[in-house]
Structure 1
Amino acid sequence: MKNNIFDRELLLIFTRNPELGKVKRRLAASIGDEAALKVYEMLLQHTLEVTQDLSVKKWVFYSEEIPKKDIWSKENFNKKLQQGRDLGERMQQAFSEAFSEGFQKVVIIGSDLYDLQEEDLKMAFLALDDHNYVLGPAQDGGYYLLGMTKPTPQLFRNKTWSSASVFQQTRQDLKQEKLKILPVRNDIDTFEDMRSYMDLMELIEKDGEI
């Protein structure tokens, strides 16, 4: 069993290997593969910046393979490989491993949220002091964050992942539980999602990508 607060709290970060033609495919349909990769690399960097100083344990889960060199320092981040046939199964496996290791408060995020700040993550872990679950709704109807204090495999079953129904389906699953809802945030999946972010737009405009 974990002895101190730092060892009892865990952040799971799900990420895709940043490879040309394999990330942000809906975004790439509008701006091209090279521009989509640049945007995703910037989103990864942002995710690193808002998580690296957080006083919890952190595991980064790669989609394809664990690279020999990346932006995540070994001192701050434990690197793992996602396991499962779909997103739900992969998340469920990650949570299961976390709880089997003795963690008591586990939160998962993706790596495509330019809105996400360190305070959002602190709020999520704090919420789990007096709630069993915490959920961060995304503008597109999904969720950008899920946290819990006990294994709950049913949250990852019978969902149409990457659809506008995921948040409401998950909330329905938790209707009898003590649940904290965080502020809505915008994840970057399409060109429309990134229009309001000057840094992201400048990233692709300066190279004539759009």
Structure 2
Amino acid sequence: METKTKDLLIIFTKNPETGKVKTRLAKDVGDEAALEIYKFLLKHTISVTKDLDVQKEVWFSEGIEEDQLWDSSVYSKKLQKGKDLGARMQYAFEEGFENGFRNIIIIGSDMYDLETSDLENAFILLKNKEYVIGPAADGGYYLLGMRTLEPNIFQNKEWGTSTVLHETLNDLKGKNIALTDLRNDVDLFTDIKDHEDFQKFLKK
């Protein structure tokens, strides 16, 4: 693949299927509302990434979607591979470096707090740092950037728990890293119950 830029944004997403997305949130709002909220978050992710001046890849969890949500002229579409989230992220980074990219950032697709400027800033930081991490309020991270592959950070983690950020920072002790602003992701009812933009999904 010919790369016009050395910057790559990887977006990890789950295929939007009822009962398979936002399962913790669904316990309070139901499967249908959880799916609609997830689609709403996907559209937000597209809105803040589509005009970013970097190469963009969307990696699907189950199968590559050929629908119109992710514009194929903007996003390359790929399939995640690996037994857990860590292995899947490592595989995506490895492929990115093999394809000639130098600055690679990965994000999820459900961060309503994320703005285009956050991603632009992270790529700027990555020009002078080996690693950039966006800490999430739940103890994980919403953004990970690398110029050098560090496999340790993808191994021996309890993904989805509050220990992930702390353990990742331990893995990178002594490395040249930058932290971006703290952001809150949408996993639980408490994350959205008082948020104006989500009220339309919560009305019975």
- State yes or no: 1:170 paired with 2:137: no
* Structure 1 segment 107-146 matched on structure 2, within 5 A: 107-146=105-144
> Which deviates further from its counterpart, 104-113 or 62-71?
62-71
1:17 is displaced (CA, Å) by 0.3
Aligned-partner SS, 1:88: helix
Aligned-partner SS, 2:5: helix
Residue 52 of structure 2 corresponds to 54
Cα contact 1:2–1:8 (8 A) shared by 2 = no
SS in 1 for 2:152: helix
Give structure 1 stretches of 5+ with no counterpart.
Answer: none
- Do structure 1's residue 147 and structure 2's residue 149 form an aligned pair? no
The answer to whether the Cα contact below 8 Å between 1:134 and 1:148 also exists between their aligned partners in 2 is: yes
1:125-151 deviation digits (Å, cap 9, x = unpaired): 000111000000000000000000011
Tell me what 1:91 maps to.
Answer: 89
Report the CA distance between 1:44 and its aligned residue: 0.2
Pairing 1:177-196 to 2, within 5 Å after superposition? 177-196=175-194
Q: Once the 2 structures are TM-superposed, how far is the Cα of residue 2 of structure 1 from its aligned partner?
A: 6.9
Q: Which residue of 2 aligns with 1:45?
A: 43
**2:22 is the counterpart of 1:24:** yes
Q: Is the 8 A contact 1:2 1:103 kept in 2?
A: no
Shift of 1:201: 2.1
Shift of 1:200: 1.2
Q: Residue 54 of structure 1 aligns to which amino acid in structure 2?
A: L
Deviation at 1:197, TM superposition (A): 1.9
In structure 2, the residue matched to 1:72 is: 70
Counterpart of 2:156, as a letter, is N
* Separation in 2, partners of 1:196, 1:122: 29
- Quick one: structure 1 residues 65 and 2, their matched pair in 2 at CA, closer, same or farther if it must change by over 3 Å? closer
* Amino acid paired to 1:53: D
CA distance, structure 2, for counterparts of residue 23 and residue 13 of structure 1: 16
Over the matched positions of the two proteins, sequence identity in percent amounts to 49
TM-score (norm 2): 0.97
- CA separation in 1, counterparts of 2:155 and 2:68? 32
Aligned-pair Cα RMSD in Å: 1.3
| Structure 2: gaps spanning 5 or more residues | none
Secondary structure of 1:7's aligned partner: coil
**CA shift for structure 1 position 11:** 0.2
| Equivalent residue letter for 1:91 | M
SS in 2 for 1:79: strand
Q: How many residues align?
A: 204
Answer yes or no: is the 8 Å Cα contact 1:109–1:146 preserved in 2: yes
Pick from 10, 14, 33: which aligns with 2:12?
14
TM-superposed deviation, 1:7: 1.6
- 1:157 lines up with 2:152 in the alignment: no
